[in-house]
């Protein structure tokens, strides 16, 4: 049996995060790996990026027993791009909206933490700030980069 990494990413994308900011109600499903593009036509948007896209892809790898089973901890990036940053704008203008998103994200994903057989969310690390997407594009967004650590046992 191989890794269910694609299923893990698709399951994470299927979890819709709901929050309210600036008097507007948002429901953000994720964009699955196969549909992520370099250009984001509609904001806000959630992009599910593969391990290693922004940072370390695997944070742990260990043998589970004396057979061939291993436990891998994947670091999947769930990036929410809220609004394009204009010239001279700062993160402070949208910090409250981004903080509200983080507060909604954590319990929503935690409730769906078993993403695939043998795969469970073990940690979520939020990073709120100005994000360049894609890297090297010089397009900047106010957003949140969630690093979702998923423990998967592979037999």
pLDDT in tens, 2-50: 888 999 999 999 999 999 998 999 999 999 988 998 889 899 999 999 8
> Is the per-residue pLDDT at 1 higher than 70?
no
For 23, the 3-state DSSP assignment is: coil
Q: What percent of the chain has pLDDT over 90?
A: 59
Residue 87 has a pLDDT of 65
Task: Report, as an integer, the average pLDDT of 118-136.
Answer: 93
Residue 90 has a pLDDT of 63
CB of 130 closer than 8 Å to CB of 33 = no
Task: Report, as an integer, the average pLDDT of 67-71.
Answer: 82
In angstroms, rounded to a whole number, what is the distance separating the alpha carbons of residues 28 and 10? 14
Spans of all domains in the chain: 5-154
**CATH class of domain segment(s) 5-154:** alpha beta
Structure tokens at 130: 């100005």
> Is the per-residue pLDDT at 103 higher than 90?
yes
> Is the per-residue pLDDT at 75 higher than 90?
yes
In angstroms, rounded to a whole number, what is the distance separating the alpha carbons of residues 106 and 86? 28
Query: Worst-scoring range by mean pLDDT, 62-66, 78-82, 124-128?
Result: 62-66
The count of other CB atoms within 10 Å of the CB of residue 124 is 17
Strands (E), the chain: 17-21, 24-28, 30-31, 45-49, 58-63, 70-84, 114-116, 119-132, 140-154
């Amino acid at each position: 049996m191989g890794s269910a990494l694609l299923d893990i990413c698709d399951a994470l994308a299927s979890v819709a995060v709901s929050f309210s900011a600036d008097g507007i109600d948002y429901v953000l499903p994720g964009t699955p790996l196969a549909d992520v593009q370099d250009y984001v036509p509609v904001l806000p948007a959630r992009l599910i990026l593969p391990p290693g896209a922004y940072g370390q892809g695997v944070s742990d790898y260990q043998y589970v027993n004396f057979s061939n089973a291993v436990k891998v901890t994947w670091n999947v990036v769930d990036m929410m791009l809220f609004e394009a940053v204009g010239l001279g704008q700062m993160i402070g203008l949208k910090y409250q909206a981004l903080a509200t998103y983080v507060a909604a994200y954590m319990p929503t994903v935690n409730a769906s933490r078993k993403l695939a057989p043998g795969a469970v969310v073990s940690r979520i690390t939020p990073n709120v700030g100005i994000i360049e997407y894609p890297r090297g594009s010089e397009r900047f967004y106010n957003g949140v980069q969630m690093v979702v650590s998923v423990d998967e046992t592979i037999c």
